[in-house]
Homo-oligomer: A and B are copies of this chain.
Amino acid sequence: MARLKVTVAYDGTDFAGYQIQPSGRTVQGTIQSVLQKMHKGEAVQISASGRTDAGVHAVGQVFHFDTEMNIPSDAWGKALNAMLPGDILIKDVAEVPDSFHSRFSASSKEYHYKLLVSKEPDVFRRNHMFHYPYPLNIRDIQKACGYFLGTHDFTSFSSARSEVADKVRMIFALELLEEGETLTFKIKGSGFLYNMVRIITGTLLEVGQGKRKPEEIKAIIAGEDRALAGKTAPAHGLYLYQVNY
């Protein structure tokens, strides 16, 4: 029995999310059905670092699974990619100790949120960037970013549907990069609550529009109330970029 750690990219557009469901095309379901074929019909359960919602993408999602099949790590990637559809790409497969767990062993995660700030939308990137045609004060957004850094209770920035008891998380880095008409928020933290990156992004966009002052972030965090923060930015701009161990 070997435990394999797999790094995978996917385009979330045509998936009803990462997690397997009774109906609907999911990333987990698609990968598990390919693994089941490789294991001669035997069901294989994969375990990811976390779920992603419908429309959310991954550049470097990580999952693990156990197998009795004796295939070298390199060959696993090629075999899986040959059977998987074009919107899922296995990037790396590595053998890991039995103690490794894609979720519990993770030390930090990085998400990116991409915006297209052009006047006109772009038909070719409509599923991969949030089109935001309004003027933004970048300096104010950057100033507001600073207030998120460090260890805080992020109740205000998590969906009311979140069922986790402990909402304290640590944000290591949050920066906004400008490249022509593309803006990218890069956020790295110990872990993230449900919808946390999308609510942080939505709130920062309201700061950029002048609807909120950068300093208000402090009070929004302190208030521990979802109603204080801004709108949840749409799913299709979000990428699970990297999981660190």
- Partner-B contacts on A (CB < 8 A): 9-11, 57, 86-89, 91, 120-121, 123-124, 126, 128
Contact = CB atoms under 8 A, between A and B. Distances in A.
Contacts of A57: 124
A10 B123 contact: yes
Say how many copies of this protein the assembly contains.
2
Contacts of A89: 120-121, 123
A6 B89 CA distance: 38
A116 to B, nearest CB: 13
Contacts of A88: 123
Nearest to A88: B123
Contacts of A10: 123
Nearest to A57: B124
Given A91-B120, A120-B91, A86 B11 contact: no
Contacts of A126: 11, 86-87
17 contacts: A9-B123, A10-B123, A11-B123, A11-B124, A11-B126, A57-B124, A86-B121, A86-B123, A86-B126, A87-B123, A87-B126, A88-B123, A89-B120, A89-B121, A89-B123, A91-B120, A124-B128
Contacts of A121: 86, 89
Contacts of A123: 9-11, 86-89
